[in-house]
Amino acid sequence: MAEVLLEVNHLRTEFKKRKGKVTAIDDVSFHIDKGEIVGLVGESGCGKSVTSLSIMRLLRDTPGEITNGTVLLGGKNLLELSDKEMHAFQGKQMAMIFQEPMTSLNPVMRVKEQIVEAIRLHLDMDQAQALKHTEKMLTQVGIPDVQQVMNSYPHQLSGGMSQRVMIAMAMSCYPELLIADEPTTALDVTIQAQILDLMRELNQKNGMSILLITHDLGVVAEMCSRVIVMYAGRIVEQADVETLFAHPRNPYTQGLLASLPRLGQHVDMLPSIPGTVPDLANMPAGCKFAPRCKYAMDICTKEEPKLVDMEKPGCKCRCWLVEQQMKEEGKA
């Protein structure tokens, strides 16, 4: 029986705007087992980063606020921890890789000082051991001139290099949970493959759980056992990888999969989902995807569908059409 590591329940995060509040994520619930890699996908602006920042309690420098829900890590509700307790969790129990590396690197510390400091804070190593471990981690993320990078300040590094430093730092303390938010988007394919390999290695050797946020469904197919699909701040489908790729139920998921390039297909020819993600301040009344959905029915524009269980255990979908199909098949 798998052991649950992270459990997110009914999470809602709102942003204060000049004219009131907008809800960026609403009623988001999911879990990650120990040693599991779960993918989180959806177009840009769907709430993937806000979900991860909420879990890490890193919304402080934004107008964002968690207004409902719980985030349990190993049974402890992170939302109830003091800042000091939370700080102790960050780095050791959980670490995050950001889309933008500069957010997690300290500009006034040399690379080696900041990684060594993190390691000594969380792992039982002396200065010499921590330095050696830093070297090893930087080598593993494909940094060619490790000594030079260790002695650099973050601003002296290229974007790709600082991204790799941040990844090395996040993984250096072997966190139980790694949240990787588009970790390799800015990197070239060789380095991307190397970093995904390293994540997989830490997953297999140390049982590190990973929430892998990416818009690259190819990476999801390769890395994840389960996938969560988000749209307009909501989970719209959830399934194991095999089921999701073979039988996507939600028209939104079907659209995402149809946008996957196939071998030999010209990128300009890719079908994409027409329209755009709705503005948070101007959300449609019913299903948030209805205005873009070719199957939209009357009810879809009036009432929001719920995330309901599919026949296969662990699979869920939020769609009136799917609910209707299930009723017709006598499965609901």
Ligand X SMILES: Nc1ncnc2c1ncn2[C@@H]1O[C@H](COP(=O)(O)OP(=O)(O)O)[C@@H](O)[C@H]1O
Beta strand residue intervals within 182-310, DSSP E:
209-213, 226-231, 234-240, 308-309
Task: Select from 146, 166, 305 the least CA-distant residue to 232.
Answer: 305
- For ligand X, which residue of 15, 153, 174, 245 counts as binding (CB under 6 A)? 15
15 binds, among Mg ion, ligand X, none (CB under 5 to 8 A by kind): ligand X
- The candidate with the shortest Cα–Cα distance to 315, out of 203, 210, 228, is 228
Q: Name which position in 14, 36, 49, 91 contacts ligand X (CB under 6 A).
A: 49
Looking at 44-52, 81-89, 190-198, 219-227, which segment touches Mg ion (CB under 5 A)?
Answer: 44-52
Q: Are 237 and 308 in contact (CB under 8 A)?
A: no
Kind of pairing, strands 316-317 and 308-309? Answer: antiparallel
Residue 46 lies near ligand X (rule: CB under 6 A): yes
| Residues contacting 248, CB < 8 A, separation 6+ | 237, 239, 254, 256, 257
Sorted by sequence, the CB contacts under 8 Å of residue 271 that are 6+ apart come out as: 258, 259
The binder of ligand X chosen from 39, 42, 255, 305 (CB under 6 A): 42
**By CB under 6 A, which span of 40-48, 77-85, 158-166, 298-306 interacts with ligand X?**
40-48
Residue closest to ligand X (Cβ) = 49
What is the chain's length?
A: 332
CA–CA distance, 248 with 192 (Å, rounded to integer): 27
Residue 40 CB, nearest distance to Mg ion (Å)?
Answer: 10
Question: Helices (DSSP H) in the chain: which residue ranges?
Answer: 48-55, 83-92, 111-122, 127-140, 146-150, 159-172, 189-206, 217-223, 241-246, 251-258, 320-328
The answer to whether residue 24 forms part of the interface with ligand X (CB under 6 A) is: yes
Is residue 278 a contact point for ligand X (CB under 6 A)? no
Q: State yes or no: residue 49 binds Mg ion (CB under 5 A).
A: yes
Q: Name the binder of 46 from ligand X, Mg ion, none, CB < 5-8 A by kind.
A: ligand X
> What phi, psi does 37 have (nearest 5°)?
-110, 115
**Residue recorded with tokens 């140390």:** 206
Taking each continuous run of H as one helix and of E as one strand, the counts in the chain are 11, 12
The two three-digit tokens of residue 72, written as one number? 């349990």
CB 213 to Mg ion: min, Å: 7
183 in contact with ligand X (CB under 6 A): no
* Cα four-point dihedral sign 235, 237, 239, 241: negative
Among candidate residues 203, 138, 195, 204, the one with its CA nearest the CA of residue 177: 203
- Work out which of 4, 12, 27, 45 binds ligand X, going by CB under 6 A: 45
Choose the stretch contacting ligand X; rule: CB under 6 A; options: 48-56, 150-158, 188-196, 311-319.
48-56
Q: Which residue's beta carbon is nearest to the bound Mg ion?
A: 49
Smallest gap from Cβ 332 to ligand X, in A, equals: 30
Instruction: Name the binder of 256 from Mg ion, ligand X, none, CB < 5-8 A by kind.
Output: none
8 neighbors 94 (Cβ within 8 angstroms) = no
Does 281 contact ligand X by CB under 6 A?
no
Scanning 43-51, 190-198, 245-253, 290-298 for contacts with Mg ion by CB under 5 A, the matching segment is 43-51
280 binds ligand X (CB under 6 A): yes
Residue 45 interface partner, choices Mg ion, ligand X, none, CB cut-off 5-8 Å depending on type: ligand X
Nearer to ligand X, 30 or 320 (CB): 30
Structure token digits, residue 199: 């994540």
- Binding segment for Mg ion (CB under 5 A), chosen from 40-48, 74-82, 153-161, 242-250, is 40-48
Task: Name the site residues for Mg ion (rule: CB under 5 A).
Answer: 48-49
